[in-house]
Structure formats: C-alpha cells, structure tokens
C-alpha cells in the first residue's frame, strides 16, 4: 500500500476510509484474538486498568485516566499508538491529515478538484499520529483550536472572511490521530468549554467561521484527583462528554513494585557489572515507598510516585559504586548503611503535612527508612518487644550482653569491604543469629548481620547515632547516661 502515490491508485487498491476509533477497535480485536501482549511494559494493571481501557476502546470511547502521580497514565496513552495501522494515506501537503477519499479541509478539496485521480498521496507512520499537550493555565483556545493568522492573510492577499487565513490549532491537526491532554484540571474552565462540540459532534468553530469539520480524533485525558481541590477542576459538562473514566493505582503487592523498579531503573553497564545488590535491599526500598503511603507525616492525597523507588534504587547503586571507587576496589556490595545515601531521592518526592513540616524532610526520610528496616527485620527475626521473660531463650541475649559490656560498633560509610566485615564479625552472637535462620542466603550473611543491628535499634535494644561519616551502635543505657552527663545530670 505504501507504494501508492496517487488518488487513482488508492481507489484501485480497494482502500476504504475508516475512523480512528474503528481502526483502534479493529486492531485491538485482532490482537486479543491472537493473544498478543498489547500494553508492553505496563506492570500491575493486568486485572484492573488494562481490561477497562480495552473495553473503552472496543466501545469507541474517549477516555479519562484518573489517578495520582507516577501511575503510568501517560505511558498507557503513548502505547495506544501501537494499535494504529502502521501507515495512513493523506492528501500530500495537507496539514490536517486529510483522507484522500474523505477530505475535510479547503486545501484538500481544492487539490482533489484540480488534480482528480492524479492527486498526490503521502503516507504517515503511526508514530506521527500522536499529539500530546500538557494542560497549563496559559493554554489558549487558539493553541488548541486555532485562530485567524494576519500574516497569512497579508502574504496571500486574502480578506479575513476567507477560511484560508485560518491557522489551525493542535486539535484539528490531530485529525485521524490520538490526542492526549495531560493534567486536564489545569485547563481553564473557559478553555474546557471549547472542547464540548469536538467531543460530542466532532466539529468546531474558529473565530466565527462556519466550519463543520467532522474531525476523527481519539481523545485521552489524564488527571490527578487531588487537582480537583487544589488547582482546578474538570467542569461537569466536559466530564459528561468523556465516555469512560478509568481509575489507575499504585502497585498493590511488593512483587509488582519490585518488577516495576527493576524495569525502569536506568543503570550504567559498569554499575550492573560491579555492584551487587542482595534482594533484601530491593525489598527495603519498596518498603520505604509503602511506608510513605501510610505515613502520618505525608499528604496521602498527593501520592507517592513509583519514581521514588526507582530513583532510590539508582542512588543506592551509586552509593556503593562511589565507595568502591574511593577504596580502589573492583566490586562492591550494597549495605544497609548505604540506604542513607538514598535520602535525596526521598525528600524531593514527598509532600509533607503540617506535622511532617515540623519534623523536617530529612527526619521524615530517616523515619521511613527506619520503618522499612523494622518491617523487614520482623519478617525474619522475633519481635524483641514480644519475648516473654522466662518462657524462651532470648535470641538477642548474647548481642545485648556484648553491648552492655561497653562495646561499640563504628560503621564507617566508606569503609573498605574487608574492614566492614571485620567490624560486624566482632559483635558476639551476631553471625550465629543470622546463620540460624535458614531463609537467609549465605552469600548475604553480612547484609543481614547489619540488618539485625539496625533492627534492634528500631526496638531500642541498642542505641544508634550518626557521627559525621559513620554510624555508632552502642548500649542504649550507656548512651542515655552519656547524654545525662553531657547536661550535668550525674
């Protein structure tokens, strides 16, 4: 078909005009019947969002994707391009993608009238049939629909009453294409009104011109429900004209979140080769996101984007890589203490409520990491607060006694691997506790030994404090007495 270059050849080929909504519907039906993967790279929506979106396409609906930030709304919209035919014929030179057998513009009608079956035909790839606009308060009707172009009128010596002086906006230029408006509530109400006719009747007016262009457009809008109260709203008549509203959501399980982060993280090849990341760290980073979505310090309505886990994972890798480079080592293994290197990836992606502002973003980030450590610690080891005295042996007794004897652990952030392991090995009972748990891989023993120390700190079994570039673990009572002495409370 792509070899066809004239209108006459196109007619002989048996080509039949088809609306974009029917085109999407027909190609979706084929893919469903052939059991092809349609929305590649979308994880966690298989049983919720994707079926809803497929039903909307089969119904030939315009769609509103409603959800908090970082829920793959724009990515879903962009994947719809794969449901279009690979190439589409247009009248060559048309700025409105005129179908040669069903033209709508003055230019196309005049060209076909002049050249007849010799009218030149061009082919547009489906990748060029996607138009995306971010809604901002300064978007005008001229941007979306169009306006009279005085320069065009002057250069062509045409009166303003001639429709050839019109400069078409984004929407008419998206004829026979997918048009996406992101963050729809940010569009001013009077601009939203301009979409009424286009959505309902498929036509439009520009500066009073009586144009009745039967535009064929697949509209897809995205919106954050929080925008309804903070920055703007989708006016009711417009929502009424958008046939399907689909709710998106965050990953519902830890496994889904892990797959998303692994897929989306952008790592250099040398990082992937040199830095080892035990599974526990991937889990901890996802636990940070889950903890943030439930934190009393964070505005739950603003959402916690999946980008938090992705950026945090990239920072974790870079923290271990930096230590490796400083120490002249060839490989590095991530550590629990490296999680403090991901704080910059957390603080910029959470919106704090009043209580959180009082604590400060840094302390809130530390609290989220601590909650994640606590959760993972309890998945593997007994809760120190629930051990009944006399009923069972305290699994942490040897560790408690070692710290109670005045011993401390100084974990330097950039300590070489050899020194790091030597420091953990000196804690009496620590290795034995970890090795007694058969669920823990032997290759990750030191990672879990450090997890135990941080976990016991969360339960106030031992104390922890940050001193410049290191973490110091000590007996909790000794730390308390030390603080009293500092203030003269002997």
More confident residue, 442 or 197: 442
Report the CATH fold assignment for 250-380: Helicase, Ruva Protein; domain 3 (1.10.8)
Determine the 3-state secondary structure of 226 from DSSP. Answer: coil
User: pLDDT band at 367, cuts 50/70/90?
Assistant: very high
Pairing of strands 121-125, 87-91: antiparallel
CATH class of 7-247: alpha beta
User: pLDDT band at 228, cuts 50/70/90?
Assistant: very low
307-326 vs 279-294: helix crossing angle, rounded to 10: 140
Over residues 235-258, mean pLDDT? 93
Dump pLDDT digits (tens) for 376-410.
Answer: 999 999 999 887 665 568 899 999 999 999 999 99
* Token pair of 143 as six digits: 């941007």
Over residues 349-378, mean pLDDT? 91
The model carries a pTM of: 0.84
Over residues 227-238, mean pLDDT? 70
Instruction: List, as one string, the DSSP characters of 86-114.
Output: SEEEEETT-TT--BTTB--SHHHHHHHHH
Residue 469 pLDDT > 70, yes or no? yes
Q: What is the pLDDT of residue 229?
A: 43
Domain ranges of the chain: 7-247, 250-380, 382-490
- Cα 359 to Cα 373: distance, rounded to the nearest angstrom: 20
Distance from chain centroid for Cα 360: 25
- Torsional class of 221: left (φ above 0), alpha (ψ -120 to 50), beta (otherwise): beta
Dump pLDDT digits (tens) for 261-309.
Answer: 999 999 999 999 999 999 999 999 999 999 999 999 998 888 888 899 9
Which alpha helices (H) appear in 157-250, and where do they start and end? 170-173, 189-193, 196-200, 227-230, 236-241
Cα–Cα distance list, 231 to 73, 135, 186, 239 (Å): 19, 12, 6, 17
- Cα 34 to Cα 195: distance, rounded to the nearest angstrom: 36
Over residues 63-70, mean pLDDT? 92
Length of the chain measured in residues: 490
More confident residue, 284 or 2: 284
CB-CB contact of 64 with 3 (8 Å): no
Which residue in the block uniquely carries the two structure tokens 């009128």?
153
- Cα 424 to Cα 450: distance, rounded to the nearest angstrom: 7
CB-CB contact of 116 with 175 (8 Å): no
User: pLDDT band at 231, cuts 50/70/90?
Assistant: low
Q: What is the pLDDT of residue 52?
A: 97
Cα–Cα distance list, 462 to 232, 406, 414, 473, 477 (Å): 50, 12, 23, 7, 8
The whole-chain average pLDDT of the chain stands at 88
Q: What is the pLDDT of residue 301?
A: 80
Q: What is the DSSP letter of 440?
A: S
pLDDT above 90: percentage of residues in the chain? 66
Instruction: List, as one string, the DSSP characters of 235-276.
Output: -HHHHHHS-EEEE----SSHHHHHHHHHHH----HHHHHHEE
CB-CB contact of 94 with 168 (8 Å): no
Distance from chain centroid for Cα 101: 41
More confident residue, 486 or 30: 30
CB-CB contact of 377 with 383 (8 Å): no
- Cα 294 to Cα 108: distance, rounded to the nearest angstrom: 57
Q: What is the pLDDT of residue 485?
A: 42
Dump pLDDT digits (tens) for 78-136.
Answer: 999 999 999 999 999 998 999 999 998 888 999 999 999 999 999 999 999 999 999 98
Over residues 192-206, mean pLDDT? 77
* Token pair of 306 as six digits: 């999946």
Q: What is the DSSP letter of 349?
A: T
Over residues 450-459, mean pLDDT? 94
Least confidently predicted of 105-114, 220-229, 279-288, 361-370: 220-229
- Cα 319 to Cα 240: distance, rounded to the nearest angstrom: 50
């Amino acid at each position: 078909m792509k070899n066809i270059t004239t209108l006459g050849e196109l007619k002989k080929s048996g080509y039949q005009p088809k609306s974009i909504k029917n085109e999407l519907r027909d190609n979706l039906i084929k893919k469903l019947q052939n059991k092809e993967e349609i929305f590649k790279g979308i994880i966690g929506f298989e049983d919720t969002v994707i079926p809803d979106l497929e039903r909307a396409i089969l119904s030939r609906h315009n769609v509103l994707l409603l959800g908090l930030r970082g829920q793959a709304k724009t990515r879903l919209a962009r994947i719809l391009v794969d449901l279009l035919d690979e190439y589409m014929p247009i009248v060559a030179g048309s700025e409105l993608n005129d179908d040669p057998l069903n033209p709508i513009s003055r230019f196309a009608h005049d060209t076909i009238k002049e050249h007849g079956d010799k009218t030149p035909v061009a082919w547009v790839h489906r990748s060029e049939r996607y138009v995306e606009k971010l809604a901002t308060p300064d978007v005008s009707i001229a941007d979306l629909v169009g306006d009279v172009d005085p320069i065009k009128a002057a250069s062509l010596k045409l009166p303003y009453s001639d429709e050839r002086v019109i400069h078409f906006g984004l929407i008419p230029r998206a004829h026979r294409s997918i048009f996406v408006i992101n963050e729809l509530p940010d569009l001013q109400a009077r601009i939203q009104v301009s979409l009424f006719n286009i959505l309902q009747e498929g036509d439009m007016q520009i500066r009073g011109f009586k144009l009745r262009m039967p535009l064929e457009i697949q509209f897809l809008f995205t919106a954050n429900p929080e925008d309804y109260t903070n920055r703007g709203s989708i006016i009711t008549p417009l929502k009424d004209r958008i046939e399907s509203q689909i709710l998106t959501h965050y990953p519902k399980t830890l496994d889904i979140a892990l797959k998303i982060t692994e897929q989306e993280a952008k790592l250099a090849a040398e990082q992937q080769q040199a830095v080892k990341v035990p599974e526990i760290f991937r889990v901890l980073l996802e636990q940070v996101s889950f903890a943030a979505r439930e934190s009393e310090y964070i505005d739950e309505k603003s959402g916690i984007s999946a980008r938090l886990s992705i950026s945090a994972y990239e920072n974790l890798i870079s923290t271990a890589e930096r230590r490796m480079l400083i120490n002249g080592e060839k490989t590095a293994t991530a550590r629990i203490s490296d999680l403090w290197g991901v704080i910059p990836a957390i603080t910029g992606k959470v919106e704090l409520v009043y209580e959180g502002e009082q604590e400060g973003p840094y302390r809130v980030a530390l609290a989220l990491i601590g909650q994640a450590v606590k959760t993972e610690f309890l998945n593997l080891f007994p809760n120190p607060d629930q051990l009944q005295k006399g009923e069972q042996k305290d699994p942490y007794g040897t560790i408690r006694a070692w710290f109670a004897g005045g011993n401390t652990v100084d974990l330097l952030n950039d300590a070489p691997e050899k020194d790091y392991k030597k420091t953990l090995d000196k804690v009496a009972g620590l290795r034995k506790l970890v090795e007694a748990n058969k669920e823990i891989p032997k290759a990750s023993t030191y990672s879990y030994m450090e997890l135990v120390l941080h976990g016991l700190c969360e339960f106030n079994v031992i104390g922890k404090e940050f001193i410049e570039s290191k973490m110091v673990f000590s007996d909790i009572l000794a730390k308390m007495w030390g603080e009293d002495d500092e203030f003269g409370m002997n």
